[in-house]
Amino acid sequence: MALTLEPAFTLTVEVGEPREVGRTHAGYRRVIPILGGSVDGPALTGTVLPGGADWNVVRPDGAVHVWARYEIRSADGAVISVINEGLGYFDTPAGGVSMPTRPVFEVPEGGPTWLATGFFLGELRVGSEAGQVSIEVSRVLAI
Amino acid sequence: MALTLEPAFTLTVEVGEPREVGRTHAGYRRVIPILGGSVDGPALTGTVLPGGADWNVVRPDGAVHVWARYEIRSADGAVISVINEGLGYFDTPAGGVSMPTRPVFEVPEGGPTWLATGFFLGELRVGSEAGQVSIEVSRVLAI
Amino acid sequence: MALTLEPAFTLTVEVGEPREVGRTHAGYRRVIPILGGSVDGPALTGTVLPGGADWNVVRPDGAVHVWARYEIRSADGAVISVINEGLGYFDTPAGGVSMPTRPVFEVPEGGPTWLATGFFLGELRVGSEAGQVSIEVSRVLAI
Amino acid sequence: MALTLEPAFTLTVEVGEPREVGRTHAGYRRVIPILGGSVDGPALTGTVLPGGADWNVVRPDGAVHVWARYEIRSADGAVISVINEGLGYFDTPAGGVSMPTRPVFEVPEGGPTWLATGFFLGELRVGSEAGQVSIEVSRVLAI
């Protein structure tokens, strides 16, 4: 494997009370609102903006599918759209305490274009504090 | 055409101030938060729950792509997930004052399953009051 | 409802033998290859190009989700990408002999741009001949 | 980063002549048909089934977005659906000779369920022979 992971930044996301949709044709759906947070790391610093949510579902086969959409603002003032999708088992006998994700970014002109054109891998982890989730984002580099 | 449109209900959605992402590779991106609202009609009544947003983009070819995700609660208490996607020109010389959309619903057990399994067409219209959008939803029936 | 349907053209699609994936977390998945066909109507004429498929699934709630991706070539020589998504019951006691769909088109420069920027509704029907499916496509106009 | 990559298998995919859609609102679109191939590795062996394609686009910002959908058959006879999405620069001054992707698998009952519920990373590379592409697939494990 000639792909390498380069640590980029960590999203620390404050989340609200889950809203339960319940059991649908897709599985058990819950919606977790995004309240704010911070972006810290060698490649980017800024804030997580309030708004958006994680619409996650426990699928019929037991895997958890995470799909979150929200915005961050870089220290330079660029508003960046985030879609973060993950799949795995989360904090259960079947899985670990973290879940792999693939965050995708949409970046305005003048912003950090490497975020829009790069491929990233995230590690989503429930924070040590209640109502907090962290995603360690690494850039996947093809050599 | 043997498809017929059967009026089902109207979503009246209160929206907040747009958050501008700006010009990205996909076009000009804006995020419009959902603040609440009501659901009224022959087939469903209830409320639009606060949370979620419309992540719309004016594409390079000038068409407006609308993609909103949020929840509603029926009068019976079912929390229903909505994804409403539209495409068109909106309130411009090139288009009318409304835009066609296709809303897709995810419904919990015990809720209105016809919403989950049916195909719907919406007509999205800027409300007569500021900060208000309406979507008249019709069921598309194949005879 | 101020939306009107304007008949545009009919896709007559020749399809091959289904490939069965079987029962997955999403439902019962089948893949139906696209072999070719024709495009006929007041707004567009041309051919359906071989390639692509309909990856449909019978969901756990019994509804059939259709998702097909393929290309057509207009009589003027433009190669146009089609994604046609539908939802309903198909040719069963629960449903009729046709299913509503929403086809989305991607059109090259110099091609029929109204296809790329318009909103369309399709009526998918199993053809009178084996191995044939037709989709009557109408433009949805917001007045 | 506590995520680790565990090599799983390599997809060697034979591809046909590209079909050019051309410049659309999304960028420059090309469709590359899948003709067949093989699956080899410690975790899975089998064949790539003919059918499906890679609908890739060179976006306005120059990044290449890959989106391929096709099927593979395991040596045990399970037909598995693949959607492989990638983003990067490919074999250009701006990028390397390979591109990161995220393949997602849909697996029937009795098949390799770890493929359906796991998170994978691919490295897509143009093969040494014309008309051949390889994707080295690793499982992303969260410890």
Partners of chain B (3+ Cβ pairs below 8 A): A, C, D
- The reported pLDDT for the residue numbered A21 is 98
Residues of D in contact with A7 (CB under 8 A): 1
Q: Which residues of chain D have pLDDT under 70?
A: 1, 91-96
pLDDT of residue B2: 80
* Under-70 pLDDT residues of chain C: 1, 91-96
pLDDT at D2: 80
From the CA of D63, how many Å to the nearest CA of chain B? 9
- Decide the pairing of beta strands A27-40 and A53-58: antiparallel
Give the pLDDT confidence score for residue A5 in this predicted structure.
95
- Please tell me which of the candidates A25, A59, A61 has its beta carbon nearest to residue C59: A25
Share of chain D above pLDDT 90, in %: 86
Determine whether the interchain pair A53/B55 forms a contact, defined as Cβ–Cβ distance below 8 Å: no
The reported pLDDT for the residue numbered C19 is 98
**Residue bearing tokens 């504090």:** A129
| Subunit contact A20:B79, Cβ cutoff 8 A | yes
- Chain C interface test: which of B11, B117, B120, B135 (most C C-beta within 10 Å): B117
pLDDT for res A67: 98
Provide, as residue numbers in chain B, all residues whose Cβ is less than 8 Å from the Cβ of A71. Answer: 19, 21, 31
- Written in H, E and C, the secondary structure of chain D is CCEEEEEEEEEEEEECCCEEEEEECCEEEEEEEEEEEEEECCCCCEEECCCCEEEEEECCCCCEEEEEEEEEEECCCCEEEEEEEEEECCCCCCCCCEEEEEEEEECCCCCCHHHHHCEEEEEEEECCCCCEEEEEEEEEEEC
Number of domains in chain D: 1
The rounded mean pLDDT for chain A is 93
Give residue D89's pLDDT: 84
Rounded to a whole number of angstroms, the distance from the CA of A39 to the nearest CA of chain C is 35
Distance between CA atoms of D41 and A7, rounded to whole angstroms? 28
Which tens digit of pLDDT belongs to each residue from A88-140?
987 665 556 799 999 999 999 999 999 999 999 999 998 777 799 999 999 99
Minimal Cα distance from D58: which residue of B? B25
Work out the minimum CA distance from A128 to partner chain D, whole angstroms: 16
Least CB–CB distance from B7: residue in C1, C89, C119: C1
CB contact under 8 A, C19 and D106: no
Instruction: Report CB contact under 8 Å: A123, D63.
Output: no
Nearest CA in chain A to C62: A25
What is the tens place of the pLDDT at every residue in D12-32?
999 999 999 999 999 999 999
CA nearest neighbour of B41 among B123, B102, B132: B123
For residue C15, the distance in angstroms to the closest alpha carbon of chain D comes to: 12
CB contact under 8 A, B116 and C63: yes
Domain hosting C37: range is 3-142
pLDDT (tens, 9 = 90+) of chain B, 143 residues, equals: 589 999 999 999 999 999 999 999 999 999 999 999 999 999 999 999 999 999 999 999 999 999 999 999 999 999 999 999 999 987 665 556 799 999 999 999 999 999 999 999 999 998 777 799 999 999 999 87
Of B21, B55, B80, the CB nearest to A108: B21
Of B25, B61, B63, the CB nearest to D61: B25
pLDDT of residue B88: 92
CATH label of the domain that carries residue A137 = 2.40.160.20
| Chain B residues lying within 8 Å of A59, measured CB to CB | none
User: Residue D34's pLDDT is what?
Assistant: 98
Q: How close is the nearest chain A Cα to the Cα of B20, in Å? A: 7
Task: Say which residues have a Cβ less than 8 Å from residue C18's Cβ, sequence separation at least 6.
Answer: C30, C31, C32
